[in-house]
Amino acid sequence: MNESHSSLRDDFEVSCPEINTLVELAQQVDGVVGSRITGGGFGGCTVTLVKSSEVEKLEEHLQSEYRKRWEKACITFASKPGIGAHPMETSPWIWLLFYGPFVKDKDARRTFWFGLSIAVAVISAAMTLTQARQS
């Protein structure tokens, strides 16, 4: 993970100083296996693999040190890994996500992307409201 971040930062130049700070801070915490930029690059967020016994320590370190350096809040959340790739029943939504970009009909493709953008906007708004309520 650490080498992947270095490559994304140095070879592809898709990181930014704030993200590099988060990765650097995470790597200072005992129990962290690796940390890297995630998502589309050019800022956003990081993913850090850490021993479950050290999650709280990592979150506290990131939040306090990031605020000291950037005078901005660092929002963290912990999650557990899922079971990985496995057979599953598909729903029409999954089919749409995989099939939609390959639809040859221009109007159907436009409708697909419009619907997907609305779904993303609704999810984004819900996450923003949730964060605002927690503050």
User: Distance of CA 62 to CAs 18, 106, 118, Å?
Assistant: 12, 46, 33
Q: What is the pLDDT of residues 2-40, one digit of tens each?
A: 999 999 899 988 889 999 999 999 999 999 999 999 876
Q: Please give the biggest Cα pair distance in the chain.
A: 53
64, 74 contact by CB (below 8 A): no
CA-based nearest residue to 44, from 8, 11, 80: 8
Helices (H) and strands (E) in the chain, counts: 5, 2
CA 116 to chain centre: 19
Bridge partner list, 35: 48
Q: For position 84, what pLDDT does the model report?
A: 75
Helix (H) / strand (E) element for 98: namely helix 92-99
Other C-beta atoms closer than 10 Å to the C-beta of 27 total: 15
Region 50-64 average pLDDT: 94
CA distance 20 to 107: 42
Q: Tens digits of per-residue pLDDT, 72-86?
A: 999 898 888 777 776
Q: Give pTM, 2 decimals.
A: 0.63
Q: Average pLDDT, whole number, for the chain?
A: 79
